[in-house]
Amino acid sequence: MHPISVIHSPFIDKKQTPIQPTRSQAVGQVEVFPEFAAGLQDLEGFSHIILLYIFHQSHGYTLQVKPYLDDQLHGLFATRYPCRPNPIGLPIVRLLARRDNILDIEGVDVLDGTPLLDIKPYVPDFDMRTDTHCGWYDNQKNRE
Amino acid sequence: MHPISVIHSPFIDKKQTPIQPTRSQAVGQVEVFPEFAAGLQDLEGFSHIILLYIFHQSHGYTLQVKPYLDDQLHGLFATRYPCRPNPIGLPIVRLLARRDNILDIEGVDVLDGTPLLDIKPYVPDFDMRTDTHCGWYDNQKNRE
pLDDT in tens, B46-79: 999 999 999 988 889 999 999 887 889 999 999 9
Picking from A15-19, A35-39, A57-61, B138-142, which range would have the lowest pLDDT averaged per residue?
A: A15-19
What's the pLDDT score for residue B22? 65
- Return d(Cα A3, Cα A105) in angstroms, integer: 18
Torsion of CA B48, B49, B50, B52, to 10 degrees: -150
| Interface probe, candidates B22, B126, B130, chain A, greatest A C-beta count within 10 A | B126
Asked if the Cβ–Cβ distance from A134 to B124 is below 8 Å, we say yes
- Return d(Cα B34, Cα B99) in angstroms, integer: 12
Do residues A82 and A91 touch, judged by C-beta distance below 8 A?
A: no
> Model confidence at A12, in pLDDT bands (50, 70, 90)?
confident
List of residues 6+ apart from A19 with CB closer than 8 A: A68, A109
* pTM: predicted TM-score of the whole model, two decimal places: 0.94
Give B49's DSSP letter: E
ipTM of predicted complex? 0.93
What's the pLDDT score for residue A21? 64
Q: Which residues of chain A does B92 touch, with a Cβ-Cβ cutoff of 8 Å?
A: 127, 129
- Mean pLDDT of chain A, nearest integer: 92
Distance of alpha carbon A25 from the chain centroid: 13
Q: Which residues of chain B does A74 touch, with a Cβ-Cβ cutoff of 8 Å?
A: 41-42
Which run of H or E residues covers position A135?
A: helix A135-143
Averaged pLDDT, B83-89:
96
Q: Which residues of chain B does A129 touch, with a Cβ-Cβ cutoff of 8 Å?
A: 47-48, 92, 122, 124, 128
Q: Which residues of chain B does A42 touch, with a Cβ-Cβ cutoff of 8 Å?
A: 74-75, 78, 135-136
Give A102-124 pLDDT, tens digit per residue: 999 999 888 999 999 999 999 99
Bridge partners of residue B118, in order along the sequence: B52
Write the DSSP assignment of A41-91 as a string of letters.
TTGGGBSEEEEEEE-TT-----SEE--TT-SS-EEGGGS--S--SS-EE--
Minimal C-alpha gap between A124 and chain B (Å): 7
Asked if the Cβ–Cβ distance from A134 to B128 is below 8 Å, we say no
Could you tell me which of B20, B134, B22, B144 has the C-alpha nearest to residue B78?
Answer: B134
Averaged pLDDT, B71-97:
96
Number of cross-chain residue pairs from A and B with Cβ atoms under 8 Å apart: 203
- Return d(Cα A106, Cα A94) in angstroms, integer: 5
